[in-house]
Amino acid sequence: MKKYYLVRFDDICPTMDFEQFGRAVSLMEKYNIKPLLGVIPNNKDTDQMKCEENPLFWELLKELQDKGWDIALHGYTHVYDQEEPKTLISGKKHSEFAGNNYDDQYTKIKKGKEILESHGLRTTMFFAPAHTYDAITLDALHDNGFLYNVDGCSSLPYKEQNVIAIPCRAFGVPKYDIGKINVAVCHPSEWGLASKERDYDSLKMFCEKHKDNFVSFSELMASISLGNSKIQKCIEKIYVIGRNIYIAARNVRNKVRGNIG
């Protein structure tokens, strides 16, 4: 079975940690990988304000896109305005999209897309902050001309409500293969935190291990066939249930260890 390896960088915005992003760019260039950059177009999330706004940000992104890096719209402000809405995949968590009505979601996506376009960035890809999207998000994406939602836990990309879901199963860098499509999901702005400093090393090992088998998201979609929607939705549900059981068991184990310790 041919396997695909990809890299997605989240929370890319003018106030991100540029020192850490520089390490990400160098690593991608060393291994000739063209990652997907999830760009927050109008960031208002204080967690993503790591430094002064970089005036060269948009120019840099345009250069990277011209080199073949993919750009995705990653929310609008990255600020959550819904608590525990019903979502399609990720369970009940805070959300910028899921739980809001169509007009609100449509407007956020439209405004975000306009900001990217005003800086010469084109995209047909989207993924929501905190993985929280619902059926209305998919409609609002389609109506704004988006083709792909880079999220979900299927084994193959599949079409749902006229939007193609490209699976992104891992929460971070996969330690082992988790299917045909293996995406390392990375947050470079967090690499400066003591608790996350090993994340860069995990990505570096992932790059070294799979260096001959990386593709960009655009290349993936040009070379892979879509899965059957009904089957993929079943696979996705089973995967999410399995993962939730694993996480619950791990939490119990850690709690027990904590009590003993």
Q: Which is nearer to Zn ion, 92 or 94 (CB)?
A: 94
**Which of 10/151 has CB closer to Zn ion?**
10
Find, among 111, 103, 143, 109, the residue nearest to 126 by Cα.
109
Nearer to Zn ion, 77 or 182 (CB): 77
Closest CB 25 distance from Zn ion, rounded Å: 19
* Identity of the residue, 14 or 129, whose beta carbon is nearer to Zn ion in the bound complex: 129
CB of 168 to Zn ion, least distance (A): 12
The CB-of-48 to Zn ion minimum distance in angstroms stands at 8
Shortest spacing between CB 74 and Zn ion, in angstroms = 6
45, 58, 63, 164 from 71: Cα distances, Å: 20, 12, 11, 16
How far is the C-alpha of 199 from the C-alpha of 192, rounded, in Å?
10
CB of 32: closest distance to Zn ion in angstroms? 26
> Which stretches of the chain bind Zn ion, using CB under 5 A?
10-11, 129
Instruction: Name the packing angle between helices 18-30 and 198-209 (round to 10°).
Output: 10
Q: How far is CA 147 from CA 1, 155, 158, 223, 244, in A?
A: 26, 18, 11, 16, 29
Q: Which is nearer to Zn ion, 34 or 78 (CB)?
A: 78
Q: How far apart are CA 48 and CA 39, in angstroms?
A: 11
- 37-57 CB burial, b ≥16 within 10 A, e <16: bbbbbbbebeebbbeeeeeeb
